[in-house]
């Protein structure tokens, strides 16, 4: 039952953001750029009584993933600007995200920094 409540609340947030984006694309993008998923996840983890340390590790994971996510969005933007079909643009973005994370992890390991 709890999982259903999480899914429904999260879906409502996504629905609202999508409706705002449909009517006002720039504002929808700004709202979508908010860390809504991260905030919802932190709330759900807290409600599920996860430890503060666990939530802190989650937050660090979000921070580590930000550069790759920004790069992915840039690739999708450039692909669509070049008239590449949305499905292919998203695919290119997803691949670029994974490659970026791999490179980021390799660089971090060169400096003995664990991600």
Provide the whole-model pTM: 0.74
Residue 14, classified by CB atoms within 10 Å of its CB into exposed (0-12), middle (13-18) or buried (19+), is middle
Cβ count within 10 A of residue 75: 20
Instruction: Evaluate whether 37 touches 9 at the Cβ level (below 8 Å).
Output: no
The pLDDT, as a whole number, for residue 97 is 96
- For residue 1, is pLDDT > 90? no
pLDDT band at residue 115 using 50, 70 and 90 as cut-offs: low
């Amino acid at each position: 039952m709890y999982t259903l409540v999480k899914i429904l609340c999260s879906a409502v947030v996504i629905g609202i953001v999508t409706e705002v984006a449909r009517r006002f694309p720039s504002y929808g993008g700004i709202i979508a750029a908010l860390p809504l998923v991260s905030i919802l996840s932190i709330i759900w983890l807290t409600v599920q009584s996860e430890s503060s340390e666990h939530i802190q590790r989650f937050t660090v994971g979000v921070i580590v993933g930000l550069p790759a996510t920004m790069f992915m969005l840039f690739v999708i933007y450039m692909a669509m600007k070049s008239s590449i079909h949305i499905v292919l643009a998203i695919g290119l973005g997803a691949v670029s995200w994974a490659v970026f994370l791999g490179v980021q992890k390799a660089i971090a390991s060169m400096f003995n920094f664990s991600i």
